């Protein structure tokens, strides 16, 4: 799986996008979280250290959280998106502290590992999504407009008019439109 990375600071990076995009029905093998080892790689990519051994139950529960998070990107109105994000935030257990490193001050986010992994991941996604939504707005949380792709993305373009998750989908749509005009 190719993980999306933001060029700006966000708690836990692009974890919400990457979690949702870990299931991609537009490719031959759609499930990127197929095993506990894949889940461990996902957590590592997003800086989440999990002290316990991952198992099949953890994986199934994370997949349920993934379906919940997709709803944030597919919300039809801002009010619906706000409600879905507040539902994710409702029980988020996150520890926050100020850290001074190399002459700068930043917030350090740590997660409560005493709760099940799915709850911990839900908290990380909720914090990240809340940061992004307040910084860019809910209208910038999008689903790719290139059929059959259903990947989600954060539109960080200047004018907020990005329609596709990446250049591959944009090119595919443009080439199809060009061929249709021929």
CA distance 148 to 173: 11
pLDDT at site 47: 85
Q: For the segment 137-176, what is each residue's pLDDT rounded down to a tens digit?
A: 999 999 999 999 999 999 988 899 999 999 999 999 999 9
CA distance 121 to 43: 9
What does the block give as tokens for 7?
Answer: 């060029």
Q: What are phi and psi of 161, to 5 degrees?
A: -115, 15
* CB-CB contact of 5 with 18 (8 Å): no
Would you give the distance in Å from CA 181 to the centre of its chain?
A: 36
pLDDT at site 162: 94
The contacts of residue 179 (CB under 8 Å, 6+ apart) are none
- CATH topology for the 15-138 domain: Jann2411-like fold (1.10.3300)
Using pLDDT thresholds of 50, 70 and 90, give the confidence band for residue 128: very high
What does the block give as tokens for 171?
Answer: 């090119």
- The pTM of the full predicted model, rounded to 2 decimals, is 0.88
Q: For the segment 41-59, what is each residue's pLDDT rounded down to a tens digit?
A: 999 999 888 889 999 999 9
What does the block give as tokens for 175?
Answer: 């080439």
pLDDT at site 87: 94
What does the block give as tokens for 108?
Answer: 């350090």
Average pLDDT value for the chain: 91
């Amino acid at each position: 799986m190719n993980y999306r990375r933001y060029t700006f600071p966000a708690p836990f990076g692009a974890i919400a996008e990457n979690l949702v995009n870990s299931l991609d029905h537009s490719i031959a093998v759609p499930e990127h979280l197929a095993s506990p080892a894949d889940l461990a790689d996902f957590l590592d990519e997003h800086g989440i250290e999990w002290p316990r051994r991952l198992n099949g139950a953890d994986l199934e529960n994370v997949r349920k959280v993934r379906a919940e998070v997709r709803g944030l990107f597919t919300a039809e109105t801002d009010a619906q998106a706000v409600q879905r994000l507040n539902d994710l935030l409702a029980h988020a257990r996150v520890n926050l502290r100020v850290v001074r490193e190399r002459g700068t001050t930043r917030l350090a986010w740590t997660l409560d590992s005493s709760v099940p992994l799915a709850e911990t991941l839900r908290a990380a996604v909720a914090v990240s999504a809340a940061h992004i939504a307040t910084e860019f707005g809910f209208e910038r949380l999008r689903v790719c407009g290139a059929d059959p792709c259903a990947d989600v993305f954060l539109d960080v373009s200047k004018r907020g008019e990005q329609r596709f998750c990446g250049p591959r989908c944009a090119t595919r749509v443009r080439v199809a439109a060009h061929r249709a005009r021929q």
